[in-house]
Every structure is written in C-alpha cells, then in structure tokens.
Amino acid sequence: MRLRRHPAAAIAGALSCAGALIAGTVLVPAGAQAAPAASMAAAPYIYFGWGNPQSPTQVMSATGVRWFTLAFILSDGGCNPKWDGDRSLTGSDAAKIQGIRAAGGDVIPSFGGWSGAKLGQRCSSASALANAYQKVIDAYRLKAIDIDIEAGEFSSGTVRKRVVDALKIVKDRNPGITVYVTFGTTPTGPDSTGKDLIRKGAAAGAEVDGWVIMPFDYGASPGDMGDASIKAANGLKNAVKSAYGYSDDQAYRHIGISSMNGKDDDGRTISKGDFQDMLAYAKQHHLARFTFWAVNRDRSCGSGSDGDSCSGIKQQPLDFTKIIAQYHR
C-alpha cells in the first residue's frame, strides 16, 4: 500500500544510545511479564517514523494487545540493517522496544515495505542477507520477524529466491523463531509472482510459519472488502497447500491476513464489520496471523489530518486494534 510504503528516511533526528552495545548486541530486557504466546498472532503494525505514532504502552493498556510489528528495517545503502535505513539499532527504537517489554509486551521487526533500499536487493547472497537479518535478531533477542516483501524485492525472481534461501538459514540458526512473509494479493489470492514466491520457499525448505497477504489496494473494485479478503485468503491457502503438500487444516495454520483499517490507498473502505468477518474466519481456521496496518491510523481524522495518522472514517480511537486483540490462535 502506498501509505505503508512511506520510508521515514526523511525524518531524521538526534539518536540517543538506548542500551549497552556488547559484541554488536543491544541488551534489551525481556521484561518481567511474559506475553502469552498466542498473542504473537495478533501484532498490529506501528511505524515510529511517521503518522504521529501513538504510545505503544497506552495502546497495550487500552486494547489488550501485547505484541507490535515494528516497521521498517531497511538497508543503510549496503548489506547492513537500520530502521528506515538511517536509524541505528542502538538508538531510539531500542528504547521503545525496552518500554514495550517492560510493560509485558514484545515486538516483531518488519523488514522491507514499499519504499527505500531493501536488504534483499542490497545483500549479494542468501548468506549475507541471513547475516543482516541475524544482526537484528541478535540485537533484540527476537522471537519473531516479518519479511514484508514488496516492490523490487517482490518483482525479481533472483531476489525472491535470495530471501527464502536466507530465511531457511535463519530458521536453521534460530530454532523456535517465528517467521512471517507478507506480500500483496489479488482479490482471488496471490498472483503469479506471489505463487512463485511460495513455491520457491517450499523448494528451498524454508519453514515459513505464516505466509501473509495484504488484501487491499486492489485497483479494480472487489465489492465487499470483508468477503474479498476472505476469498483472497482462501486463494492463499490453496497456493500454500499445493506448494508444501499440506492438508487444508495445515495450510490454514500457515497463512495470515494483514488488512488495512478505514480507507485504503484506492479510497475503498475496510470497515469494522469487515474486520469482524476476518476475525471470525481467522478463529475458524486457526490462521497463523491476523493483523493490520496500522495503529498510527486507528483513529478518526481531524481537520487537516492525512491518511498516515488516521483512518479516514468515523470511528472511536483504537477500534480496529481492539478487534485484532481478540485474536488468539
């Protein structure tokens, strides 16, 4: 989506070192309270680089959400990860992660998005890309990562293979880590490029925990957005089932939905009712993930507000996050 694809490279500021750096690792406390494992499946995106981001700990208190997907890790110009390509892993974002964990939550950094320099393109090999992913995993002692593969990373067959080969390495190095791969879709499921990505993942032996579609920004009108999202998810299920040889139940448990609240970039409305339909579907089939873009937008617009910081529809604050928080796999 165009809104979620804004890099925050233009938003630079003084970065304070928020954690000791020892052998390249940021020591971020895991917090005294452990978040329920099931809540990882419901980790809405929040972007600290734009859109007047809301306080994560206040969102946790108001909604019951315990996990957040943090956007976006990009290339600093080479094969080195930074927040939005310019903020150090040891800077202000580390302090925010520490605050979330201290409140009993946890995070899933997301690599990629639409804009900016992608690690999948700037790293020359699968092993180099896996090392870049590993820097972030080690820095924050992560339990999960999200690869939001879009734009040039998604369109290049060479890069698609590099990404899934790197994820195979990551899974081998980090037993128990959860890996999500998020990408765009048509109203009937993944297009030929998306299906190829899934097939490449299966061929590489990459044990992806959740292949996740973004069912919005379709261009042509798909009609009811709740029904269209479910139809797209069924198409995803079939693609994953075919590639991996899963049963229907296994395939459902390896897919997910990452929706968008309110007006999408094409001006179509994804309503609270649509989210409730998707929630029922996710619960019925035990999907790996049900999330949305983004907490930044989960409020009504005021005068002069834009789509980076509000939904474009009439709503109460955090209505959509409260629906997502009801999902426990």
Residue ranges of the alpha helices (H) in 115-214?
A: 119-122, 126-140, 151-155, 157-173, 192-204
Collapsed DSSP state (helix, strand, coil) of residue 215? coil
d(CA 6, CA 48): 12
d(CA 189, CA 229): 9
Given 76, 150, 209, 274, the catalytic residue: 150
Collapsed DSSP state (helix, strand, coil) of residue 212? strand
Buried/exposed code over 258-290 (b: 16+ C-beta within 10 A; e: otherwise): bbbbbbbeeebebbbebbebbbebbeebebbbb
Contact assessment for residue 86 and residue 12, using Cβ atoms and an 8 Å cutoff: yes
Selection from 87, 88, 83 nearest residue 46 by Cα: 83
Active site residue 207: no
Would you name the residues annotated as active-site residues? 150
